[in-house]
């Protein structure tokens, strides 16, 4: 073997056995305290198996044994904290310093107009997106609580974002769906109330670890009325569910009623106001999301201005409506249609009908998909199951409340990217990123020697971006800004380690 070949072989052997150790420390962002027993999962890029599965010690530290040099994906998690992930190339890497964001919390009591505690009421934290007038109620751990015997509630693990807090009482969808009847005292009636009042709800800003105490409700007094009538039952008999949902806020029904065997229904103690009266059925099952409708359901909607008791209403129901939907390529992207071979169209109602109206069906670029048996409601349309590299460019709103049968095209785009420069930052400062609605883990970028950083393969949408100090001290706060990421584009940003607060 020639000397040149011997040298080359030696280099290859050195490269093959080149190893690294990944270590670092995890602290709580808002306090600077070490996070113990956080799970640290480390995976080599492209590998199926984990390279290391560790826990942080009492000082928040972790360290792997020797592992091959390369590009790794690191995910750090602990209950009540936002899952945080980052990419790390071990060549030349320094020990990691990761700040975990603890979920925020809101707690208080719900009292009636006489100052007595209200038990078994439902309290929700609902995301309030910038520029959106529509609220979407999500039943997930921490964002929903039931008041106890003292009227107390606690919402927790709230990801960074904006929230409004609302209490629902009486014959709510959650109560009737869970137990079949109103959960709170009948003298309260039925309805909902935002904190501190419906016309001007307070928006709670969560950036990490905030504890909002004494967010107390005193349910307002108002005139209440009853509404009774009959649903003209079709051949497919069964229980029909009816909802009185405020015209001003359709995400939360004020009251739910069910028909008896003859189709009669009765709402009691409903506040005065302008409502949509929704009817859906038949149903033979229910859950906290409301009624589960039989196959080929019937629906009705009508407007009702409630200023006095209403009797003898007759509700005529019809078969559900149809929608034609197809995927399209967003003009900003060049995509391979193969990314949608197993995609699903997801239609979720933006209105509370007291029924589970979410519908899923297969969808692709090749031909329109027909979706039948839909309520004459307003829906949001999105897509799940897309292959890597394909994203929904934007959520589509669909209005089926009119007489027309619409068709929709859902634009699919390539991912977006953020490329940035970190100015005036001390050594070890990192950059955090999270979706505005808290729907995905926090991502961390480590600036390179030129203070440049990048977030790639992002779902289009609104994000929050902030800087993180490398010192074990409480977060400085007010260092967050908002950014819009569009599919197929790269957003260039210049950040300072101290930024102006988002407005």
Report all structural domains of the chain as residue ranges with CATH numbers, in order of start. Answer: 3-96 (2.60.40.10), 104-318 (2.60.40.1120), 320-411 (2.60.40.1120), 416-496 (2.60.40.1120)
Q: What is the pLDDT of residue 502?
A: 39
Q: What is the pLDDT of residue 12?
A: 42
Q: What is the pLDDT of residue 137?
A: 64
- Positions of E strands within 46-115: 52-55, 61-63, 67-68, 71-77, 84-89, 96-100, 104-111
For the CA atoms of 303, 356, 165, 345, the dihedral, rounded to the nearest 10 degrees, stands at: -100
Q: How confident is the prediction for the chain on average, in pLDDT? A: 88
d(CA 260, CA 242): 12
Mean pLDDT score, 450-455: 94
d(CA 26, CA 39): 10
3-state SS assignment for residue 419: strand
- Top-confidence residue, 8 or 173: 173
For the entire predicted model, the pTM comes to: 0.85
The 10s digit of each residue's pLDDT in 264-306 is 999 999 999 999 999 999 998 999 889 999 999 999 999 999 9
- Top-confidence residue, 45 or 237: 45
- Top-confidence residue, 287 or 395: 287
What's the token pair of residue 47?
Answer: 């590998």
Banded pLDDT at 166 (limits 50, 70, 90):
very high
What's the token pair of residue 199?
Answer: 């016309």
d(CA 185, CA 190): 9
Percentage of the chain beyond pLDDT 70 is 92
d(CA 502, CA 424): 19
Q: What is the pLDDT of residue 5?
A: 42
- Top-confidence residue, 336 or 352: 352
Token look-up 């859902």 returns 410
The 10s digit of each residue's pLDDT in 183-225 is 888 888 899 999 999 888 999 988 888 999 999 999 977 789 9
- Top-confidence residue, 381 or 129: 381
The 10s digit of each residue's pLDDT in 308-350 is 999 999 999 999 999 999 998 887 776 777 777 779 999 999 9
Banded pLDDT at 136 (limits 50, 70, 90):
low
Banded pLDDT at 476 (limits 50, 70, 90):
low
Q: Say if CB 300 and CB 234 are below 8 A apart.
A: no
Banded pLDDT at 10 (limits 50, 70, 90):
very low
Calculate Rg over the CA atoms of the chain: 27
């Amino acid at each position: 073997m020639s000397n040149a070949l011997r040298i080359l072989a030696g280099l290859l052997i050195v490269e093959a056995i080149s190893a690294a150790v990944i270590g670092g420390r995890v602290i709580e962002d808002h306090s600077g305290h070490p996070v113990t027993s956080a799970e640290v999962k480390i995976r080599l890029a492209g590998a199926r198996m984990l390279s290391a599965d560790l826990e942080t010690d009492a000082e928040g530290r972790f360290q792997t044994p020797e592992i091959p040099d390369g590009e790794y994906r690191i995910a750090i998690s602990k209950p009540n904290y936002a899952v945080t992930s980052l990419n790390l190339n071990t060549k030349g890497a320094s020990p990691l310093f990761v700040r975990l964001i603890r979920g925020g919390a809101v707690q208080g009591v719900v009292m009636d107009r006489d100052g007595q505690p209200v038990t078994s009421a439902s309290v929700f934290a609902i995301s309030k997106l910038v520029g959106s007038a529509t609220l979407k109620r999500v039943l997930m751990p921490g964002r929903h609580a039931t008041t106890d015997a003292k009227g107390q509630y606690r919402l927790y693990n709230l990801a960074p974002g904006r929230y409004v807090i609302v209490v629902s009482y009486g014959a709510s969808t959650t109560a009737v769906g869970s137990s079949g009847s109103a959960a709170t005292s009948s003298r309260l009636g039925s309805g909902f109330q935002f904190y501190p009042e419906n016309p001007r709800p307070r928006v709670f800003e969560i950036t990490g670890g905030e504890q909002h105490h004494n967010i107390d409700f005193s349910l307002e007094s108002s005139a209440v009325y009853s509404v009774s009538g009959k649903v003209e039952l079709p051949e497919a008999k069964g229980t029909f569910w009816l909802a009185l949902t405020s015209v001003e806020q359709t995400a939360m029904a004020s009251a739910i009623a069910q028909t008896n065997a003859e189709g009669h229904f009765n709402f009691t103690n409903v506040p005065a106001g302008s409502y949509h009266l929704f009817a859906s059925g038949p149903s033979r099952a229910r859950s906290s999301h409301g009624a589960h409708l039989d196959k080929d359901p019937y629906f009705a909607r009508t407007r009702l201005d409630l200023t006095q008791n209403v009797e003898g209403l007759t509700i005529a129901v019809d078969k559900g409506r149809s929608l034609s939907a197809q995927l399209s390529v967003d003009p900003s992207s060049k995509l391979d249609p193969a990314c949608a071979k197993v995609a699903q169209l997801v239609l979720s109602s933006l209105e509370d009908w007291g029924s589970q109206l979410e519908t899923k069906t297969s969808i692709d670029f090749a031909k329109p998909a027909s979706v039948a048996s839909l309520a004459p409601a307003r829906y949001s349309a999105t897509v799940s199951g897309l292959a890597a590299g394909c994203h929904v460019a934007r959520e589509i709103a669909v209005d089926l409340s009119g007489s027309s049968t619409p068709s929709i095209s859902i634009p699919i785009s390539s991912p977006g990217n953020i490329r940035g420069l970190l100015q005036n930052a001390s050594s070890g400062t990192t950059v955090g990123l999270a979706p505005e609605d808290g729907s995905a883990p926090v991502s961390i970028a480590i600036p390179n020697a030129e203070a440049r950083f990048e977030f790639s393969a992002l779902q289009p949408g609104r994000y929050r971006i902030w800087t993180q100090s490398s010192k074990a001290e409480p977060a400085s706060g007010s260092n967050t800004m908002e950014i819009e990421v569009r599919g197929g584009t790269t957003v260039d940003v210049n950040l300072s380690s101290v930024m102006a607060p988002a407005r």
